[in-house]
Structure 1
Amino acid sequence: MKLKFVTLAALSASAIIFSTSALAAYKFDVKCLDEVTLTDVHAGYILSASGGPDIGNAVVISWEKNYENGKTSFHVLKNLNDYPGKGMFDMALMALDRGLPISAWGNDAQCSTGIHQLKITRSRYPL
């Protein structure tokens, strides 16, 4: 019985160490976009989306800032078939329609897995 307990304790400790080291490699809230203006919101079966087409639920936004253009995908767990993704999609459409600058955050330094958070900023030049 003692041997089983010691073995179980050793396995638990190694699992905790492994999970802690995995968390250390995972970054939270890395700023991917800083007050960019959206030029396009593309939704559907998009092969170039960071998480793949997600059975037709992928979202890719195009943006510009200071004559620089780019594209960024929503994270695969924040697409149109995910509850948070629907709200982010609505936010992106509103920002596109009104020309409001947005900022976005992801989970890795290159933002290659897509964004998981959006922020709309009030226009500096109201009509």
Structure 2
Amino acid sequence: MQKIAVLDDDERWCLAIKRFFRNDFEVVTFTNAQSFLDSAIESYDAVIIDFAISPTLRYERQVSGIEIINQLKEQLEHPPMIILTSAFFSRHDSDVDEKLRSIADAILPKDLGLDEILKMIKRQLAN
């Protein structure tokens, strides 16, 4: 079974993805950027990274999903498929996709719905 890692500060979103994807993927979730980066990222087939990761501790700063993606690309010779997701943009924001296309393999607004997100991830991984 293919493995997906999810990095999102919203625990409910992580739980929803884990439950919705469980028949198709093994899903591991992270709500903290550092724990995600410390994991064996190269063992995942895909990673879903939120656009903005709020700190879990007071002394941490907010981290951009783009910062995390850039770090993955610098550190890993063969990074997994990278999916950037956010509630800040919607499926109707076509210009967002153009601006972020070079950063991630796929840009998926959260308002797309889990069924559409699942379909798109399966399609991307099949290529």
Q: Do both share a fold (TM > 0.5)?
A: no
- More contact order relative to length (CA 8 Å, sep ≥ 6): 1
TM-score by length of 1: 0.22
Bigger strand share:
1
Instruction: Give the number of the structure whose alpha-carbon radius of gyration is greater.
Output: 1
Bigger helix share:
2
